[in-house]
A and B are shown apart, each in its own frame.
Chain A
Amino acid sequence: EVQLLESGGGLVQPGESLRMSCAASGFAFSSFVMSWVRQAPGKGLEWVSSVSPSGISTYYADSVKGRFTISRDTSKNTLYLQMNSLSAEDTAVYYCAKRDPIGHYDLWGQGTLLTVSS
């Protein structure tokens, strides 16, 4: 089955770190750009980060640059997001998504909730 399955969300305190994972199955994971997109409670979709198929090139939204690190392990078909120096503004559901070469996202995970609160 073609799917993405995120894990690793939870409740953390401001300033703490967390790593999210996204397990991919049913498609050639190593061939596609993968991204993280988040959605704060009651808000719209916000792109967070993307990584090239090889994992060499990474891209970040200004709001997370320097704090978040995206990576992928093609041997495990897994995408990661390491998040440091978390603040309340990072509270959101985090989705991993597969990007088609045209530029749209044709596969999304179910999302994992991160809550940053003291």
Chain B
Amino acid sequence: YVLTQPPSVSVAPGQTARITCGGDKIGSKSVHWYQQKPGQAPVLVVYDDRDRPSGIPERFSGSNSGNTATLTVTRVEVGDEADYYCQVWDSSGDRPVFGGGTKVTVL
């Protein structure tokens, strides 16, 4: 199972960033999103399509339908600049699958 993400997304501070994750019938799977800043471990920001772990701002939200899942970050801040990865569970291979990652640049 392959997940496809755009390599990069640029956004101005205060605007909205949308990061897509494409996969065959991904809407039938649970999608999880991670934020990774340089030199740091990944941090879960959205799980099960749209749920947020405690401590993650409401500015981070997720949606999933058809062949595309989307992580939306509203009121983007400089501190949101990071790589973002989507992930699903591939039941056929009994393993997790990660997207290639999207580098979000805050202009």
Contact = CB atoms under 8 A, between A and B. Distances in A.
- A is bound by B: yes
Interface stretch (B19-27, B64-72, B74-82, B83-91): B83-91
Contacts of A109: 41
A1 interface: no
A95 interface: yes
Task: Bin the interface of chain A by size.
Answer: 20 to 34
Contact of A45 (B30, B43, B88, B98): B98
A27 interface: no
Interface residues of B, number: 25
B101 A45 contact: yes
A103 B88 contact: yes
B48 to A, nearest CB: 5
Given A105-B44, A106-B44, A35 B30 contact: no
A102 to B, nearest CB: 5
Contacts of A111: 41
Which of A47, A50, A103 neighbours the largest number of chain B CB atoms within 10 Å of its CB? A103
Contacts of A16: none
Contacts, number: 59
Contact of B97 (A35, A47, A104, A110): A47
A92 B24 CA distance: 29
Interface string A97-118: 0011011111011110000000
A45 B32 CA distance: 13
A47 B41 contact: no
Contacts of B13: none
A61 B47 contact: no
Given A50-B95, A95-B42, A102 B101 contact: no
Interface of B: 30, 32, 34, 36, 40-44, 47-48, 53, 83, 85, 87-89, 94-101
26 contacts: A44-B98, A44-B100, A45-B36, A45-B42, A47-B96, A47-B98, A50-B96, A59-B94, A59-B95, A95-B41, A99-B96, A100-B47, A102-B48, A103-B88, A103-B96, A104-B30, A104-B47, A104-B87, A105-B32, A105-B34, A105-B42, A108-B41, A108-B43, A109-B41, A110-B40, A111-B41
